[in-house]
Amino acid sequence: MASTSTSGLLIPKPLRLGKFAIETPVVLAPMAGITNSAFRRLCREQGAGLFVSEMVTARALLERHPETLRMITPGPGESPRSVQLYAVDANIAGAAAKMLGSEGLVDHIDLNFGCPVPKVTRKGGGSALPYKHRLFGAIVESVVNAAAPFDIPVTVKMRKGIDDEHLTFLRAGRIAAECGVAWVALHARTAAQMYGGKADWQAIADLVAELAPMGVPVLGNGDIWSAADAIAMMTQTNCDGVVVGRGCLGRPWLFRELAAALNGREIEVAPELFGVSETMYRHAELLVEYFEDEFRACRDFRKHVAWYLKGFSVRNSIRVALAQVSSLAELRNLLDQLDGAQSFPTLIGEGPRGRSTSTRPVALPEGWLNNPDEIPFVNSDEAYSGG
């Protein structure tokens, strides 16, 4: 856990991840459609930490879907190579972990038990799955055992539970710890909250207290929009590190700020619009390398434009054109038209970003809440008939 110096500064300990030491205990949260190797590389260039791939399904991995294999391919110099795995069946999960290990494809596996989107939860996956605690334990144990011969550490990311009436994080945390995971990361919201409301940092503190006697670190996730937020979370909850998701959208330099803050260094002033525009162009270049298709890369980049420019004064015609950009040359021309001397709009730019939704019922398989002790049948979409 973190400690404080005589001057009162937070001094985080490195996170142990098998043979790796994550000196700055900051993890990039896997985000669908966002954390491809291009974005991970952009964030790695800004500061230390661990950068995890987009979630991939165990079944698609075993069937060697080309896009899934592309998603787990690391960027140049990426280490440790981290992949987030999703499964609803222990045998499939274990087989996928064995494949990743035997073919030397990863250095770290993170298990997704936190995704709240309906297409995942209605199949009993993501944040719905820990409610079936025996199934949860079987999946975690299967992956830990399959990864062990290859010295691949396994971690778990989860939410508080399905909703306020069906909280699972304390029991799931204990199960994961007993299975031998390297750490547990908690997004301090329920699935019903999606990405809205306020994250319950007290739940992180409760999980820290629960797992501390077992020697298993806890990472906190939720409402980290600035370096000050990370310091506050670690101070208030005594967690061992933080997981950053939406806070870095349009702000990859947040990792540089976090590294400085957590190591007692002065935080650099946020970039002016010129610096932001150069980061935007670098991001697009990396996407072209990743997709090997300039138009596809620029089309993917479009969703990042509003996040990068949030709070800046930019002519509407340029905003619209940037949201329709189709080539690097076009992007360069538009960025050169911006007033680069504008200071970073801290009050707006360091505020919430990305998806935000109100609490709503969670889509679940029929009868899912009837018996938490049962191990349900494997969802047909996750079935795998291979060896």
Cβ contact 176:184 at 8 Å: yes
**275 phi and psi angles, rounded to 5 deg:** -65, -40
Cβ contact 158:169 at 8 Å: yes
In angstroms, rounded to a whole number, what is the distance separating the alpha carbons of residues 230 and 224? 6
Q: Is the peptide bond before 30 cis (omega within 30 degrees of 0)?
A: no
Kind of pairing between the strands at 108-113 and 154-159: parallel
Q: Under the phi-then-psi rule, with left for phi > 0, alpha for psi from -120 to 50, and beta for the rest, what region is 231? A: alpha
**Cross-strand pairs, 158:** 113, 186
Kind of pairing between the strands at 154-159 and 184-187: parallel
**9 phi and psi angles, rounded to 5 deg:** -75, 145
The SS3 assignment for 342 reads: coil
- Which residues are marked as active site? 115
In angstroms, rounded to a whole number, what is the distance separating the alpha carbons of residues 209 and 218? 9
Cβ contact 162:117 at 8 Å: no
Report helix, strand and coil shares of the chain as percent, to nearest 5. Answer: 45, 15, 45
Q: For residue 197, what are the CA distances in angstroms to 188, 222, 352, 359? A: 11, 10, 11, 8
Cβ contact 268:260 at 8 Å: yes
**34 phi and psi angles, rounded to 5 deg:** -120, -55
Longest dimension (CA), the chain: 61
Cβ contact 86:55 at 8 Å: yes
